[in-house]
Amino acid sequence: MPELLDKFGRRHTYLRISVTDRCNLRCLYCMPEEGMVFMDQDKLLSYEQIIEVAETAVKLGIHKFRITGGEPLVRPGLEQLIAGISALPGVDDISLTTNGLLLASQAAKLKKAGLKRVNISLDTMDATRFKFIARRGNLDKVWEGIEAAIEVGLSPIKLNCVLLKGVNEDEIGRFLKLSMEQPMHIRFIEYMPIGHDDKGWRDHYLPLSKVLEVANHLGYVLKQDEGPKGSGPSENWRIEGGVGTFGLIHPISEHFCKNCNRLRLTADGHIKPCLYWVDELNVRPAFGSQEAMEQLFLKAMDIKPENHEMAALLVGDKQSHVPTERRMSQIGG
Ligand code: SAM
Ligand code: SF4
């Protein structure tokens, strides 16, 4: 069986699967306030179809899966998908990225279906600011989701925090303190210009060197750390004496494309070799033929670019290729 090796020698072992573009929030860095034109429900891959794609992926060496969205927990019956993927021989990790709002009521059944761990988005610990960033929802519900995840043993818990200049950068210290006091991993993420190159992005982009600056300013002694399982491109740290860890995902200030091992499957059935560029491959014509599905994955390797060029947008440089018009909620992050 061939492996998923691209032209730059990168072996692909990780597939991120988006199950919906819908969401119960409208985070200002991800979706416009008025929402989007959402995909018709009949455009979404069914869970059976997603499992068919995953089956071929596993045969080609993918052993790690993440379910994402939009907000994956708004799609009914997600546990059926988790159970189906977990049952494939060779799958050793299946995780979920969620905004946490619906997690308290679903954590137990997801865990029972085979979910191993969860990343929960938490950009602020301030309830009023939460309403500003997420434009809807309720911070208490997110905390309830985090507590439920801990209770049912979804471990390790990672909290994803997108840092925005002038919006939540003053909470870096608070998040660092949380990583000292709780056995959690705080993942600071650079704000990315996906599907939009607007002034809003340039105004609010914050390089994550700021996190290390704040840690130094607070007098923390930092030790580089392996980080929890599934740390991917994260640069991980532990504050001396702390029980948790924190990580930096800095695709713009220090891109990590040379270690990229991931592919993405959109909710409407397209394999995206790279988060950033427009290229994608429709899986629908390949249903029913494992050979055709394999060829599609191999084609994805063939067209996988060496790197994204998000940083070029900061300085207004021309880009070599066409960026995607999909927003993050239509890809899955
Ligand atoms: N709704 C779920 C959530 O928010 O966790 C899953 C989907 S969301 C698209 C996946 C991750 O992408 C979240 O952690 C979110 O904060 C992050 N994200 C969304 N838009 C982003 C952007 N423009 N730059 C960086 N991260 C972004
Ligand atoms: Fe929804 Fe997640 Fe996007 Fe926020 S980041 S709007 S929760 S998909």
310, pLDDT greater than 90: no
- Answer whether 26 contacts ligand 2 (Cβ < 6 A): yes
Q: Which atom of ligand 2 is nearest to the CA of 328?
A: 3
Nearest bound ligand to the CA of residue 120: 1
From the centroid of its chain, how far is CA 112? 22
Q: Is 22 in the pocket of ligand 2 (CB under 6 A)?
A: no
* 225 is a domain residue: no
Asked, for residue 29, whether it belongs to a domain, the answer is yes
Confidence at residue 152, expressed as pLDDT on a 0 to 100 scale:
98
Alpha helices by DSSP H, the chain: 47-59, 78-86, 103-113, 127-134, 139-152, 172-181, 199-204, 209-217, 290-303, 310-315
Average pLDDT over every residue of 103-123? 98
Q: Is 70 in the pocket of ligand 2 (CB under 6 A)?
A: yes
Looking at residue 319, what is its pLDDT? 87
User: Of ligand 2's atoms, which has the minimum distance to the CA of residue 71?
Assistant: 8
Where residue 126 falls among pLDDT bands split at 50, 70, 90?
very high
Q: How far apart (Å, rounded) are the C-alpha atoms in residues 280 and 303?
A: 9
Q: How confident is the model at residue 34 (pLDDT cuts 50, 70, 90)?
A: confident
Q: Which atom of ligand 1 approaches the CA of 191 most closely?
A: 24
* Residue 178 in domain: no
The pLDDT, as a whole number, for residue 33 is 87
Going by the DSSP 8-state scheme, the letter that residue 306 receives in this structure is S
First and final CA of the chain: distance in angstroms? 29
Mean pLDDT over residues 78-107, rounded? 98
Q: What is the pLDDT of residue 218?
A: 97
What mean pLDDT is reported for the chain? 95
- Largest alpha-carbon pair distance within the chain? 59
In tens, the pLDDT along 166-212 reads: 999 999 999 999 999 999 999 999 999 998 766 789 999 999 999 99
pLDDT value of residue 198: 67
Looking at the predicted structure, is the pLDDT value of residue 151 above 70? yes
Cα separation, 227 vs 247, whole angstroms: 7
Is-contact 136 127, C-beta < 8 A?
Answer: no
Query: Is residue 159 within 8 Å of residue 146, measured between CB atoms?
Result: yes
Q: Is 325 within a domain? A: yes
Q: Is 109 domain-assigned?
A: yes
pLDDT tens-digit readout, 132-148: 999 999 999 999 999 99
Q: List the CATH number of the domain containing 94.
A: 3.20.20.70
Q: Is the pLDDT of residue 231 over 70?
A: no
Q: For residue 43, give its domain range.
A: 14-161+258-331
Domain count, the chain: 1
**Gap from CA of 123 to ligand 1 centroid (Å):** 10
Residues with C-beta less than 6 Å from any ligand 1 atom: 23, 29-30, 68-69, 71, 97-99, 121, 160, 162, 189, 191-192, 194, 328-329, 332-333
| Cβ neighbours for 199, distance < 8 A, ≥ 6 positions apart | none
Q: What is the pLDDT of residue 46?
A: 98
CA of 23 to the centre of ligand 2 (A): 6
The string of pLDDT tens digits covering residues 262-274 is 999 999 999 999 9
Let me know if residue 238 belongs to a domain: no
The atom number, within ligand 2, closest to the CA of 24 reads 1
Distance 295 CA to ligand 2 centre (A): 32
Provide mean pLDDT across the span 67-87. Answer: 98
Q: What is the pLDDT of residue 297?
A: 98
In a domain, 175, yes or no: no
> Would residue 276 count as lying in a domain?
yes
Q: What is the pLDDT of residues 235-253, one digit of tens each?
A: 999 999 999 999 999 999 9
Q: What mean pLDDT comes out for the span 62-88?
A: 98
Q: What share of the chain in percent tops pLDDT 90?
A: 87
Atom of ligand 2 nearest to the CA of 69: 8
The band of 316, judged by pLDDT with boundaries at 50, 70 and 90, is confident
Ligand 2 site, residue 301, Cβ cutoff 6 A: no
pLDDT of residue 315: 78
pLDDT at res. 197: 63
Q: What average pLDDT does this structure show over 54-69?
A: 98
